[in-house]
Amino acid sequence: MEASRSKDAVPADYTGGTADGSRAGHINVNEYDPEHRLTLNVEAIAYHEGIPGHHLQLSLAQELAGQPEFRKYEDYTAYVEGWAFYSERLGKDVGRYQDPYSDYGRLENEMWRAIRLVIDTSVHEKHWSRDQMVAYFHRYTAMDEPNVQSEVDRCIAWPGQALGYKLGQLKILELRQYAKEQLGDKFDIRAFHDEVIGGGALPLDVLDKRVRDWVAGQKASSATSIDR
């Protein structure tokens, strides 16, 4: 990560590649103040920023056929970050996090994003002080001090952005459960994921309709096959 922004930045973030392939997408790792940074969430962050997270989702969006150019680069925070946060959990679903330390890091990330729901709304609605926000992070997480400080400043300066991660993840999990219940043994998680990330970034209500329409189509197709 560039030194000019690393002091106040997150542990890692992602820079997308160019459409013509002249520059690859890459993860930026924050090396500021390494003596006070924890490494327990490195694996979770790799799934979030890399594959199947931002790198996969954003790269596929650039390759969509039949979409206006602006749709290939749209960035709805709840969708883009929701998918990346969901990807951390997906790593667990497919048997990753074999190291208990890394799995603890995944759980720590879950707590981190849940706490931001409290912190963001509390500072902007209930007018919490900065010290109250820092104390809340320390009370409920094992996050390192550089990350706590940058997260608090982020919520103060960027109202609502941090809420998108958890809200987007919860929506994707809700839709996955809905699809599983509706399709039963016909549910294919790979096809579900194709549908979620196959249309580019979307507002969550549009994503909800897209997946529900897909489920209806799968049920209709299954019924037709049975009739034949």
**Cβ 169 vs Cβ 44: under 8 Å:** no
Is residue 212's pLDDT more than 80? yes
Number of structural domains (the chain) is 2
When computed from its CA atoms, the radius of gyration of the chain, rounded to whole angstroms, is 19
Residue type, 66: G
- Beta-carbon contacts of residue 60 (< 8 Å; ≥ 6 apart): 197, 198
Is residue 224's pLDDT more than 80? no
What is the structure's pLDDT at 159?
95
String of b and e for 58-81 (b: at least 16 CB within 10 Å)? beebbeeeeeeeeebeeebbbbbb
Helix ranges, the chain (H):
3-6, 42-49, 54-62, 69-72, 77-93, 100-125, 130-140, 145-157, 163-183, 189-197, 204-227
Whether residue 112 sits in one domain with residue 86: yes
What is the structure's pLDDT at 61?
95
End position of a domain, from candidates 135, 165, 195 = 165
Q: Tell me the two tokens of residue 153.
A: 């400043």
Whether residue 109 sits in one domain with residue 27: yes
Residue with tokens 């009370």: 139
Tens-place pLDDT, residues 40-74: 999 999 999 999 999 999 999 999 998 898 999 99
Is residue 228's pLDDT more than 80? no
Whether residue 177 sits in one domain with residue 94: no
Whether residue 137 sits in one domain with residue 209: no
What is the structure's pLDDT at 227?
61
Whether residue 120 sits in one domain with residue 91: yes
Q: What is the extent of the structural domain holding 68?
A: 3-165
Residue 106: other Cβ atoms inside 10 A: 21
Give residue 21's pLDDT band: very low, low, confident or very high (50, 70, 90).
confident
End position of a domain, from candidates 123, 138, 165 = 165
Give residue 38's pLDDT band: very low, low, confident or very high (50, 70, 90).
confident
Tens-place pLDDT, residues 83-127: 999 999 999 999 999 999 999 999 999 999 999 999 999 999 999
Average pLDDT over every residue of 161-177: 96
Of the chain, the percentage scoring pLDDT greater than 70 comes to: 98
What is the structure's pLDDT at 221?
86
Is residue 225's pLDDT more than 90? no
pTM for the full predicted model: 0.92
Rounded Cα distance, 114 and 93, in Å:
20
Rounded Cα distance, 48 and 144, in Å:
19
